[in-house]
Amino acid sequence: MNAESLRRDFPALEPAPGRSAPVYLDSACMSLVPRTVLDAMEEYYTQYPGCAGRSLHRFAEEVGRRFEESRHAFARFLGRADPRGVVFVRNSTEALNLVGQGLAWKRGDRVLISDREHNSNLVLWQRLAAERGIRIEILELPDNGTWDGDALETALGRGVRLVSLFHTSNLDGRTLPVREVAERAHDRGARVLIDGCQAAPHRAVDTDRLGVDFYAVSAHKILGPTGTGVLAGAPDAMAELRPLLLGGETVEWSTLEAHELRPPPHRFEAGLQNYAGVLGARAGIEYLQRVGFETVDAQQLRVNRRVTEGLRDLDRVHVLGADDPRERSSIFAFTVDGVDPNDVAVFLDEGHGVMVRSGMHCVHSFYARRGLAGNARASFYFYNDDADADALVAGVRELVARVPFSGTSAGRAASPTRPASGPRRGAGSTGAAARSARPRRRAARGRGASATGSG
């Protein structure tokens, strides 16, 4: 399979009349959805729009069967041998909260996180620290993308009940050695919770082999619809959790005085479920499995290398994370000296049809500690191709050529490793320079042809 043939499966990549095909480089935020996912969701609403586990008619029986088949499909996809450890949630944020809020914390219990976690894996613990008296330990990660196992061992030595880390970072694309983390943590008696949002779409994940207790993913990053996700947990670990919500399918029986909850996973799935979303999410992972992770890795690395080489000679462009694209194959996060990251994103979209994300990427703590204004982030997937890479390169090169930079600190957007004088938030570089220097025309491009531009 090649990117060009795969692109035809994604309606969002079809060019609108009179316009070029979109250049979508924001898959770390949300992947695009293939037609098979849309078909699966429509099929539910048109052929068996019932409530699973309630009625006995054929609609309800059919959706109930397919819902549980989806649970088994996700168990296989995430390497969880026992499907009873797969809970459907809205997203990984809910999955992380299910673990964090569900554990019976005692005052003084410690949770270990890294210094660059997504807000979903930070503010949860800050609230629990305030409300239940837990303590947060911070694992400092080197800026160059290397791993320090001794630092982890030192942190674990302070007595940690739960280790909660990302698998792959949405910030700089680095991947942590999760199996080593789990082994060291378990040796110290700690549970392990992993945010797998940025890993599961790009590589095969075997949670049983990794040895983690909990693994959280969002389906909207794995070709699925929004509002669907999974918490995959080991059965013994799941049994320790208190449900976030009660009612509906969580109850085995109830009287006016008492009730009994169903066993996991059903005790964690309160109320009517997002059946169309779950069935669509299953179609998404099955499509991804047909594409194959070798194809995913090869294509996104090809695009990342092309972008990295195409911008390497620009002194004003600074890349966050490792120099080698192999260490961040799905992520190219960067700043342009003298231009606010939000203005970079607007310039690329309005001038070259290139969609990237800008800002602090829900990792505000990382930027705040360094006094950074954020950065722009291009994120790649298997449906991106050389033309996408060339459009990004052309847009950045034109921006650098059209927006002057004096080389002084005034009005300067900080590089990922060079702080500005203090934290800045929101959009707007000095005089909104990038927005006042519009490209001469939106770049026209065809599939397989390089983007045009003056830079």
The 8-class DSSP code of residue 168 comes to B
How large a percentage of the chain has pLDDT more than 90?
82
293-311 and 386-402 helices cross at what angle (nearest 10)?
20
**What is 36-289's CATH number?**
3.40.640.10
Buried b (16+ CB within 10 A) or exposed e, 352-362: bbbbbbbbbbb
User: Which residues in 200-281 belong to E strands, given as ranges?
Assistant: 214-218, 229-233, 251-254, 259-261
* Identical fold between 3-30+292-436 and 36-289: no
Question: Which pLDDT belongs to residue 452?
Answer: 32
Mean confidence (pLDDT) of the chain: 90
Question: Tens of pLDDT along 103-122?
Answer: 999 999 999 999 999 999 99
Peptide bond into 225 cis (omega under 30): no
* 443 has pLDDT over 80: no
Parse the chain into domains and list their residue ranges: 3-30+292-436, 36-289
Decide if 331 contacts 170 (C-beta within 8 A).
yes
Tell me yes or no: is domain 3-30+292-436 CATH 2.102.10.10: no
Query: 283 pLDDT band (50/70/90 cuts)?
Result: very high
What dihedral angle (degrees, nearest 10) is formed by the CA atoms of 310, 316, 317, 319?
130
pTM as predicted: 0.90
DSSP string, 282-304: HHHHHHHHHH-HHHHHHHHHHHH
* 447 has pLDDT over 70: no
Query: 291 pLDDT band (50/70/90 cuts)?
Result: very high
Question: Which pLDDT belongs to residue 318?
Answer: 95
> In whole angstroms, what separates CA 336 from the centre of its chain?
24
Query: 441 pLDDT band (50/70/90 cuts)?
Result: very low
Query: 189 pLDDT band (50/70/90 cuts)?
Result: very high
362 is catalytic: yes
Q: Identify the active-site residue in 29, 51, 197, 362.
A: 362
